[in-house]
A = this chain, B = another copy of it.
């Protein structure tokens, strides 16, 4: 089976969580929009009125006649097929639950630079972005990464893996979250990262996996940039000592 991944070219974005699984699983796949004429194919697929199961947005994966969208859903499908998820139902649900929490922090990492709306440029919402960034760096990063650190701690038999004893797509996604946060918020992460030793070790472990190491060196891995989800704007990376948490 040759998988076809459809995602916006030029950024890692949400497609990267799927790419990492395809790469680590040694899958045969094509990153359609990055091939010659591929961007047109992406737009055609998005506008296809005969598609019974239309995606709301990229990424989506074509696997034979099946079309699957929503990155966590794609990983739910790919996980068992690529040996990157447990086979039993409870294990698969736990894996997916963690992935949905990854999706939540990814959405918030996006909203740091787009707090008011995706239809406006960052430059039009810089004031709001600064307020969002203050809470994101002081409260949300510690809340999410502290949670994932606990998950790693409690998986005592897992030897550094998030789920069970083996590599899963959640490990790959946590690598990407750490890499993305380090790129976007280097000062914040420098100030906080000692609190997340198991996440840091997991990041390093994934970096060293032979297939991932080869991928990261290849042209298939695009660099982080300020068009993607994780964006480095120095004015949004000002580590603070945490403000007090309040009910909303």
Contact = CB atoms under 8 A, between A and B. Distances in A.
Contacts of A155: 52
Given A147-B56, A155-B52, A248-B122, A117 B132 contact: yes
A245 interface: yes
B68 A97 contact: yes
Contacts of A56: 101, 104, 144, 147
B115 A128 contact: yes
A52 B153 CA distance: 9
A135 interface: yes
A118 B72 CA distance: 24
A77 interface: yes
Interface in A94-128: 94, 96-97, 100-101, 104, 107, 111, 114-122, 125, 128
Contact of A243 (B55, B119, B125, B136): B119
Interface in A182-232: none
A131 interface: yes
Interface string A81-103: 00000000110011011001100
Nearest to A144: B56
Contacts of A53: 94, 97
A139 interface: yes
Contact of A77 (B73, B93, B151): B93
A165 interface: no
A246 B119 contact: yes
Contacts of A179: none
B73 A96 contact: yes
A18 interface: no
Nearest to A53: B94
A72 B54 contact: no
Contact of A246 (B97, B120, B154): B120
